[in-house]
Amino acid sequence: MSGKEVVIDVQNLTKRYGEVAAVDDVNFQVKPGEIVGFVGLNGAGKSTTINLLLGFINANSGKVKLFDEVVAPANAADSHQDIGFATGDMALFDKMTGRQYHDFIAKSFRRPIDKTVYDSLCDRFQPELTKPIRQLSRGNRQKVALIAAFMTDPKLVILDEPSSGLDPVMQQAFRDLLREHQNLGTTVFMSSHYLSEVREVCSRILVIRDGKIIKDIEADELASTGGKLIRLVTESQCSLPEGSKLVQAEQLDKGFVTEFVTSLNMAELQKWLGSIAGLRDISIADSTIETAFHDLYNAPGVDDVSNF
């Protein structure tokens, strides 16, 4: 496959911290217009891989090519001219307000930023832009980061846990934005804790475990197993029905999100839901990706995917 047919080209990529291989001889390619989901347990190597893609850190061996150009810390700034990214780590900019951070991003680009694009993103996410980033809630920090990632009208967007901390309304706004960019031909590479999000918006999925890619599959190749994926928003954390498998649990600015896979039938599920206090929102879908991930991680010492 030629460079023009590949946006991301990762070749034999390895990153070690002492004796630990955080990324271990990883190879994959991403074609133009793909939305690729990157999933795995905490500590599997997702964030390290993304930092290598962005040229934030050096690899021990192997290489990353974006748009057919090798990326490393020495030339990262040049490679970022066609890339939008949100990594979740804004510590270097936390004294800035959201507006100041966006101005900083705009000035770092060699081409002018379309103000109508920026204003549309602000209307969509309704961020708090006047307070220092360090004073913002997790959800508002994420809004600021997402606007920064998309405001430059990038050809490629690289995102690390992009909807983490967002409430359900803002998560849907983010998913709608991804669909719009997919129609525009934008390439997206994103890690996510939300398996329902991966299933909904990604055309392809990479699964990483212990620094190695263990699965590279088209999203529509995952067959349903008959279970149900339940997503609840409640006032406080709730316990799960017996025999269910936790997928994700997260505290939001207001409320608590729990995703789990269950084999309960609808009558049993409705009875259980009647016992939940402070239920704010619920979605139910057939389980496909979630069960596949449980199977992939069904190894000694791994009981569930609650740390995705």
What's the CATH number for 3-221? 3.40.50.300
Spell out the domain ranges in the chain. Answer: 3-221, 228-287
| Single pTM value for the model | 0.78
CB atoms within 10 A of CB 136: 21
Sequential pLDDT tens for the chain (308 residues): 555 689 999 999 999 999 999 999 999 999 999 999 999 888 899 999 999 999 999 999 999 999 999 999 988 888 899 999 998 666 668 899 999 999 999 999 888 899 999 999 999 999 999 999 999 999 999 999 999 999 999 999 999 999 888 998 999 999 999 999 999 999 999 998 777 788 889 999 999 999 999 889 887 765 444 578 888 999 988 888 888 888 778 888 878 899 888 888 888 888 898 888 889 888 887 666 666 666 666 544 334 444 44
Which residues lie below 8 Å from residue 55, measured CB to CB, with a gap of 6+? Answer: 64, 71, 72, 73, 75, 76, 79, 80
174 SS3 class: helix
Work out the angle at residue 300's Cα, subtended by the Cα atoms of residues 296 and 306, and round it to the nearest 5 degrees. Answer: 60
Angstrom distances, CA of residue 263 to CA of 5, 110, 232, 238, 286 = 42, 54, 16, 18, 10
Q: Tell which CATH architecture fits domain 228-287.
A: 2-Layer Sandwich (3.30)
- How far apart CA 159 and CA 173 sit, in angstroms, is 16
